[in-house]
Amino acid sequence: PLFSVIIPVYNVEKYLDRCVQSVLTQPFKDLEAILVDDGSTDSSGKKCDVWAAQDSRVQVIHQQNGGLGQARNAGLRAATGKWILFLDSDDCWADNGLQLIAEKIKLWPEEKLFVTKWLTFSQQSECVPNASGLSEYFTEGPKTFSTIIETIQAYEKLFGWAIWKLVIHRSLICDTPLLFLPNVRNGEDLYWGVHLFCRCRNLCFLNVYLCCYRVQNTGTLSELSAANALNWMTSIFQTASVLASEKIPEEQAVQSWLAEKYVFYMILAAKKEQKEAWKEQWP
């Protein structure tokens, strides 16, 4: 297939059908969908098997719960497409987004890392363009950044940090495998994204909406309670420690950037109304 989309699945029985259907009903058909059931305890795993029985482009992997990073790793090992995409199982794709991406790839055949726009929706609303101010900075086409940290900061400023906005040539992450850190359950994108941008400082921005991102989903990691902020701090510290042991290029600049993330979550955890929860959680 031209595209492989990796979809980690964990206890999303309410959302999974819409997610998978949005992929399989794309007018562009040359794709495979890899559903990684990460030890779901609801009907999500069975739903994955139903989709696989209905469409030969669907591959299902069942595994013990290991978190989002481990599920993505399983999907990466199984992916056979020339281009790799990620999709969270409570989100979905916009109509015809993949066809538009395929057309854009032909315009820039030398590029290996494309970045898409996205939409947001909730239980009360349909998909709409996000209000992140991209139009002020966004120019379609390739851009080469002079340093890794410049690439990281530009991507973060324009797109946040989630990797489901990326369309990645398999040579960047599969030929020499790039895997997510095990046992990091908050900010698992950070380590992986830093290494991705170490391998490629070219970003090709596309004026294409692909992912519809579900907001205000109760129970997600975006709920910034004191305890959750502390979990983020732990994950950022783990990420920084591993990167230090690997002696990546521009290590000091990257570690300084991670330190800013750490302080951000420390401040959230230390809000006055959350201090007692922070003290109870702090080892």
Q: Quickly list DSSP for 262-275.
A: HHHHHHHHT-GGGH
State the residue for tokens 């299902």: 60
Q: Which pairs count as long-range contacts for 180-183, CB under 8 Å and 24+ apart, including other chains?
A: 180/68, 180/69, 180/70, 180/72, 180/73, 181/69, 181/238, 181/239, 181/242, 182/66, 182/67, 182/69, 182/70, 182/73, 183/67, 183/238
Nearest to 73 by CA among 184, 162, 202, 166: 184
**Mean pLDDT in order along the chain per 10 residues (283 residues):** 98 96 97 98 98 98 94 97 97 95 97 92 64 57 94 85 93 94 84 95 93 67 67 91 93 96 84 59 58
CB atoms within 10 A of CB 255: 15
Question: Which pLDDT does position 138 carry in this prediction?
Answer: 65
Both tokens assigned to 70: 């481990």
CB-based burial label for 20 (10 Å; 0-12, 13-18, 19+) = buried
Length of the chain (residues): 283
Question: Which pLDDT does position 265 carry in this prediction?
Answer: 86
Question: Which pLDDT does position 222 carry in this prediction?
Answer: 46
Question: Which pLDDT does position 119 carry in this prediction?
Answer: 87
State the residue for tokens 């999709």: 87
CA distance 198 to 192: 10
Angle of helix 251-269 relative to helix 188-199, nearest 10 degrees? 160
CA distance 102 to 169: 12
